[in-house]
Structure 1
Amino acid sequence: MGLFSKKTKVSTTSALEIFAPVDGKLIDLTSVQDEMFAEKMMGDGLAIVPANGTFVSPIDGELVTVFKPSGHAYGIKASNGVEVLIHIGLDTVALGGEGFDIKVSQGNKIKKGEALVNVDLAVVTPKVPSIETPIIFMTESMTGKTLTIVKTGEVKAGELIATIA
């Protein structure tokens, strides 16, 4: 190799890392108290029981869905095409945004760890069947990809919880 030669790097597909969107306890998706999520009708994933109401983006991507005015769900599309849905609590859409302070807009680019919404759990929790928060990897975006959950139990926002390769 000469002094001015360029080294060619072979591109390898790296795994998409998924980080906890909130402090809390990770639970198996099949234990969520809503059959649509528990039976994985929208896609595979996991869920978290939030310990606080500060939700952040689990990946870098584009906000393809921001439910307004309810603020209860956020869809983020990664550069590799994987779409992640964060659905805060069960039946929270019925609150019409009460207890939700949305920090983002649909169409925005977002970075891992950037604020999505602040949820007043003291207001929201008593008004819904559960505050369990499914984190779903939409079926149509997962073709040819594999989800690997790398963490269980208690987590802090920003902690690695899964990979997709």
Structure 2
Amino acid sequence: MISGWFKPRELKILSPFTGILRPLSEVPDQVFSQRLVGDGLAVEPTQGLVLSPVEGTIEVLMDSGHAFGVRTPDGVEVLIHIGIDTVNLKGEGFEALRRQGDRVSAKEPVIRFHLDLIRQKAPSILSPVVITTGQVVRVLKDPGSSVCAGEEIISYKP
């Protein structure tokens, strides 16, 4: 038996947004704030471009463009949700740059959105970044910290 030779690698999740980090508990939606879909954090975006936080396949890309999920080659699923109740905008202010089923690299642009429009029309711009496959994560930066899209913000070890 070769157990002990293979050690699961630590995966770093990159920020899909440039903005300010916030704890999930501040997201005004219980599904996220109570971690019902998974652990992670939120970002208050200051720019309207969303990057893939990991290398993988876009498993879900909502028709409205407000959310997408990426599955890594190791099977980890990361959900990115732009704002709260933004599904109600029915795609207004969102432009998908990739499609469901596409392979993406980390830091590759996936969605562009009109930040000011979303701020005006959605109840909150706080945007959850969540691991949906059950892992407890380690947040690498303090809440309130500024972050650039593509910076490491979450770490997890399966």
Is 1:13 paired with 2:3? Answer: no
The answer to whether residue 151 in structure 2 is matched with residue 151 in structure 1 is no
Matched, 1:100 2:94: yes
Report whether the alignment pairs 1:163 with 2:155.
Answer: yes
Query: Matches of 1:124 and 1:31 in 2, distance apart?
Result: 18
TM-score computed with the length of structure 1 as normaliser: 0.88
1:126 alignment partner, SS class? helix
Matched-pair identity in %: 37
| Matching residue within 109, 120, 123 for 1:126 | 120
CA RMSD, 1 decimal: 1.1
Q: 2-side partners of 1:11 and 1:34: how far apart?
A: 39
* Rg larger for: 1
SS of structure 1 residue aligned to 2:98: coil
Q: Runs (4+) of structure 1 moved beyond 4 Å?
A: none
Q: Match for residue 80 of structure 1?
A: 74
Using structure 2 for the length normalisation, give the TM-score. Answer: 0.92
Retained in 1: the 8 A contact 2:66–2:94? yes
- Deviations for 1:4-61, whole angstroms, at most 9, x for unmatched residues? xxxxxx5432111101101000100011111111011111110000011011000001
1:33 & 1:135 partners in 2: Cα distance? 14
Residue identity matched to 2:75? G
Whether 1:90 and 2:84 are equivalent positions in the alignment is yes
CA positional deviation for 1:94? 0.7
| Equivalent in the alignment of 1:25 | 20
The C-alpha deviation readout for 1:59-79, integer Å capped at 9, x for no partner, is 0011000001x1000010111
| Unmatched tracts of structure 2, length 5 or more | none
Whether the 8 Å contact between 2:39 and 2:136 is mirrored in structure 1 is no
TM-superposition CA deviations, 1:70-99 (whole Å, max 9, x none): 100001011121111001000100111111
Q: Which residue of 2 aligns with 1:42?
A: 37
In the alignment, the residues of structure 2 paired with residue 34 and residue 16 of structure 1 have an alpha-carbon distance, to the nearest angstrom, of: 27
The correspondence for 1:115, drawn from 101, 109, 130, is: 109
Aligned residues: 151
- Alpha-carbon distance in 2 for matches of 1:163, 1:80: 14
